[in-house]
Structure 1
Amino acid sequence: MLIRKIKQFDYSLIIITLLLTGFGLMMVYSSSYAVAYIHYDNPTYFFTKQLKWFIIGLFFFIIATFVPYRIYSKLSPLLVMVSIVMLVMVLIPGLGTERNYSQRWIQLGPILLQPTELIKLFMIMYFASFYAKKQETINQFKNGVLPPLIILGIIFLLILKQPDLGSAGLILLACLTIVICSGVKKRHLFMLGTVGLAGIIYFSITSSYRMQRIVSFIDPFADPFGEGYQLVNSYIAIGTGGVMGNGLGNSIQKLGFLPEAHTDFIMAVIIEELGVLGLIIVISAYIFIMFRGVQIARECKDRFAKLLAIGITFQIIAQACINLGAVSGLLPITGVTLPFISYGGSSLVITMVSLGILINISSYRENTKSVPANREARMIHQV
């Protein structure tokens, strides 16, 4: 049974995961060695830490590929409670750790954990489980749609207190994607979309620092040495990269000019060093993940598996789009990392675990050509 499941894994996703993370390790080193040498007298400081997280992520990635995905449906209520507890812990002085004017981390001995990364996955599991079970009442807003949205609202507000509108909005989008794919009525979707959009706009314009980011995103050259400094230097990195780039390791902007060159803005360094060709390779990898994720969801007969696969796929692709949008100036800067590539242990491990779960789901796909017609009809009716 186990050998048969292993044979059914989507090995193309395994390969793309390892290639992207390997590429990310290379670019973390390239984009951080100068800053690491200046601040830590060790050019491999960030690379070594990211490599350790990669090994941890690879361990949990392998485990996730073998753990039956249905267990996450049973655990989802507990995971939601854990999510709320962790978000409250982050805001408690002495437990939460502040960096760059944001309190988003919990220090657990030598480990610095960012709970929001875990919660992205936990909320996808919870929403997929709830709406898979509520298909009979999916047209009833109060009983079949509303309950998890209340939990989502609490999670959203707690993350906003950190403050982290980028991650809060990303979780909101991923969960709403699951709601859309679950079969909710169009008028309910329109209402939820309107409320969600209004909420994001409200919280964006009622905070002075978020308004500054929006203004700098619209015209970064109005304050090139202040609020627009990061985006202007990102433009310079992208503009000097050309088609083929300046060569691996030859970025100038990473030498203290571009803030967060190895985290949020690592794509600007990639383009500066590898050119448009590097951008095309990275985007192609994400498109491939999106294609395979959607295909896996379509081929699954189990409703929970479908929604979980869609949620995981959309969350990764949406995060990549938001990051690339910020780096290119098409979207405001939100502090969202580039999946698999940016420096950050929590993000790397959870993204690898998410792909591991998606690969596990791929082993449960049904080959409809080999299923007798009457049996196939019974399976669809049961779902």
Structure 2
Amino acid sequence: MIRPGQVIVLCALALLTMGVVMVQSAGMQVTPLSDGMNPTESAAVSGVSAQSLLTSRTSLYLVVALGAMVLASRLPVRRFAERLDKVVWFRPGGDLGLLVIGSITLVAIVLSVYIPGIRREVNGATRWVNLHLPGLESVQPSEIAKWTIIGMIAWYASRLASYPSNRLHRFWSGLFPAVAAIGVVAFAVVLEDLGTGVLMVTACTIVLLGAGARVRHFAAFVPIGAFGVVMAIMTSPYRVARITAFLDPYADPKGEGYHMIQSLATVSGGGVFGRGIGHGLQKFGYLPEDTTDFLFAVVCEEIGLVGAIIVVALYAGIVWTGTHIIVRERNTLLKLVTLGIVATFCVQALINLMVVTGLGPTKGIALPLISSGGTGWILTAFMLGVVVSIDRTREPSIAEDYADEFAEGFAERTLRDGDPMIAVPDRAQLFGAIAAGEERPEPAEMQRLLVDREVEFKPRVRVRPKPMQTENPERIDQEEYEQLLFHDD
């Protein structure tokens, strides 16, 4: 039987492969016409071919991303999570100390984009740091902070939730330090990247709510967060222009509204089955950022509605499978880490799809595992590999362990006081009965069942004992069943 983690790997591999092909297609260039050249002889310089795909930089990113996913999937994350609480320095008050240290470290990483000599500016935005490494020229610090803060908040929330009374239910000594840490890091990110900052806050909020934080406590932070977003927009003229262009893109069709107009034209130009890979038209100087932010529009144009549905289905498969892993996970820390990873992945994909289809203002949020970007591919694949490792090392619950065993031995009964009996040698058998679909006892009855070693248990199903034969081998009624039990032929 295929495991949920394997489904995530297959979906991620499909998205990465599609990303390599579509980035190569969107990056095609056309040979300029020379004097005396027939216009019909103009051909693409770099088209989509097996050679171009294998020798492209995106193929290198694909290999590194897959390696990162495999590496993460083999990490002993469960052993690490179990030993984390045993470190004496974390008790007491160490959780708050680590939260402060982690926040300061993340702020320093994010602000490294302002260091002269290593900062890199693209399209007026300073979001990258030059590394000058082979195959990895630069890195985006906000990407590192986006994933790291998920682990930090998940750990802090799991620590507070481990107390007899969940300390996240408290405002000042529980929720407030976590929200303050998120706010400080998000503020540093928003200085250059509002979209990533909003994504980070949303994912961390989901983690805290999943850990048991009260919704009414978050209500106190809503006005502060809304004020911060409004101020971030109003203090940046280009952000104000993007909002106005979203409300009416045709008011400035050659300016701020150009991105949205061309994106919608590209999406609608593919029809149901698309123009074919490599045969799109909008990428030739019409659609801006066609290999990054608006790559999904190229997918719609060249593969059509069918390709768009496939992409959305792959994302939905990862989110659905990740949710399944979250529900089955019993370790609080690993549950919250998985929740944060899945939430970040889902919200990021949703924001990009909304922007490309005109449902949101233009933002520099890449489509996970598809849009060109080595840092994004590698880090996202690594985090999905962590989810795979959590699923791979998960131990089945008691009910899952004994459900099959209980169902197979269901006909083996004992008799007491003339009624059918079931021997319950330990608690595991009881949970196996519940998992097998039997009637769930009331709380008081459940307590008695857990104490007694041999108890009465009247199942709803009818079982035909194998040694006994009846006239109708398919079904027997209750009277005949009792006769078979109490009369020895």
1:79 deviates by: 5.6
Q: Do the aligned partners of residues 158 and 13 (structure 1) sit closer, same or farther apart at CA in structure 2, a change above 3 Å counting? A: same
User: 1: CA distance between counterparts of 2:30 and 2:274?
Assistant: 21
Counterpart in the other structure of 2:352: 323
Matched, 1:31 2:60: no
Q: Any conservation in 2 of the 1:180–1:189 contact (CA below 8 Å)? A: no
Q: Can you list the C-alpha shifts for 1:10-29, whole angstroms capped at 9, x where unaligned?
A: 21111111111011111111
Q: Any conservation in 1 of the 2:103–2:185 contact (CA below 8 Å)? A: no
User: 2: CA distance between counterparts of 1:10 and 1:81?
Assistant: 34
1:235 deviates by: 1.2
Residue 369 of structure 2: SS of its match in structure 1? coil
Give structure 2 stretches of 5+ with no counterpart.
Answer: 34-44, 85-94, 403-425, 432-489
Q: Can you list the C-alpha shifts for 1:318-344, whole angstroms capped at 9, x where unaligned?
A: 001100111111001110000010001
Q: Any conservation in 1 of the 2:118–2:129 contact (CA below 8 Å)? A: yes
Q: Do the aligned partners of residues 64 and 298 (structure 1) sit closer, same or farther apart at CA in structure 2, a change above 3 Å counting? A: same
Report 1:301-320 matches (<5 A).
Answer: 301-320=330-349
Q: Can you list the C-alpha shifts for 1:270-316, whole angstroms capped at 9, x where unaligned?
A: 10111111111111111111111111011000011111111100101
Q: Do the aligned partners of residues 243 and 300 (structure 1) sit closer, same or farther apart at CA in structure 2, a change above 3 Å counting? A: same
Counterpart in the other structure of 1:115: 141
- Picking from 239, 256, 280, the partner of 2:268 is 239
1:142 deviates by: 1.4
1:116 deviates by: 1.1
Q: Which has the higher contact order (CA 8 A, sep 6+)?
A: 1
How well do the aligned residues superpose, as a CA RMSD in angstroms? Answer: 2.7
Counterpart in the other structure of 2:62: 54
User: 1: CA distance between counterparts of 2:178 and 2:389?
Assistant: 25
* Partner AA of 1:25 in structure 2: V
User: 1: CA distance between counterparts of 2:204 and 2:30?
Assistant: 37
- Picking from 207, 212, 218, the partner of 2:241 is 212
Q: Any conservation in 2 of the 1:296–1:365 contact (CA below 8 Å)? A: no
User: 2: CA distance between counterparts of 1:16 and 1:188?
Assistant: 37
Residue 98 of structure 1: SS of its match in structure 2? strand
- Picking from 128, 148, 151, the partner of 1:125 is 151
- Picking from 191, 196, 199, the partner of 1:167 is 196
Report 1:189-268 matches (<5 A).
Answer: 189-268=218-297
Q: Any conservation in 1 of the 2:267–2:298 contact (CA below 8 Å)? A: yes
Q: Any conservation in 1 of the 2:207–2:339 contact (CA below 8 Å)? A: yes
The normalised TM-score by structure 2 is 0.71
- Runs of 4+ with deviation above 4 angstroms: 35-38, 41-47, 72-81, 371-377
Matched, 1:156 2:186: yes
More displaced, 173-182 or 137-146?
A: 137-146
* Partner AA of 2:283 in structure 1: K
1:68 deviates by: 2.2
Report 1:330-349 matches (<5 A).
Answer: 330-349=359-378
Counterpart in the other structure of 1:11: 6
More displaced, 63-72 or 12-21?
A: 63-72
The normalised TM-score by structure 1 is 0.89
1:115 deviates by: 1.1
- Picking from 61, 67, 77, the partner of 1:69 is 77
Q: Do the aligned partners of residues 68 and 79 (structure 1) sit closer, same or farther apart at CA in structure 2, a change above 3 Å counting? A: farther
Between structures 1 and 2, the one with greater helix share: 1
Q: Any conservation in 1 of the 2:158–2:211 contact (CA below 8 Å)? A: yes
User: 1: CA distance between counterparts of 2:333 and 2:345?
Assistant: 18
Counterpart in the other structure of 1:381: none
Q: Any conservation in 2 of the 1:25–1:47 contact (CA below 8 Å)? A: no
User: 1: CA distance between counterparts of 2:294 and 2:396?
Assistant: 42
1:204 deviates by: 2.1
User: 2: CA distance between counterparts of 1:31 and 1:47?
Assistant: 16
Q: Can you list the C-alpha shifts for 1:193-232, whole angstroms capped at 9, x where unaligned?
A: 4433342233223321111001111111111111111111
Q: Any conservation in 2 of the 1:28–1:47 contact (CA below 8 Å)? A: no
Counterpart in the other structure of 1:380: none
Q: Any conservation in 1 of the 2:81–2:333 contact (CA below 8 Å)? A: no
Q: Any conservation in 2 of the 1:299–1:366 contact (CA below 8 Å)? A: no
Q: Any conservation in 2 of the 1:271–1:278 contact (CA below 8 Å)? A: yes
State the identity as a percent: 30
Q: Any conservation in 2 of the 1:33–1:45 contact (CA below 8 Å)? A: no
Counterpart in the other structure of 1:139: 169
Counterpart in the other structure of 2:127: 104
Q: Do the aligned partners of residues 371 and 275 (structure 1) sit closer, same or farther apart at CA in structure 2, a change above 3 Å counting? A: same
Residue 128 of structure 2: SS of its match in structure 1? strand
1:241 deviates by: 1.1
* Partner AA of 2:131 in structure 1: L
* Partner AA of 1:287 in structure 2: A
1:351 deviates by: 0.8
User: 2: CA distance between counterparts of 1:35 and 1:230?
Assistant: 22
Give structure 1 stretches of 5+ with no counterpart.
Answer: 1-6, 378-383
Q: Who wins on radius of gyration, i.e. which is larger?
A: 2
User: 1: CA distance between counterparts of 2:311 and 2:256?
Assistant: 28
Residue 269 of structure 1: SS of its match in structure 2? helix
Q: Any conservation in 1 of the 2:77–2:386 contact (CA below 8 Å)? A: yes
* Partner AA of 2:150 in structure 1: I
Q: Do the aligned partners of residues 47 and 149 (structure 1) sit closer, same or farther apart at CA in structure 2, a change above 3 Å counting? A: farther
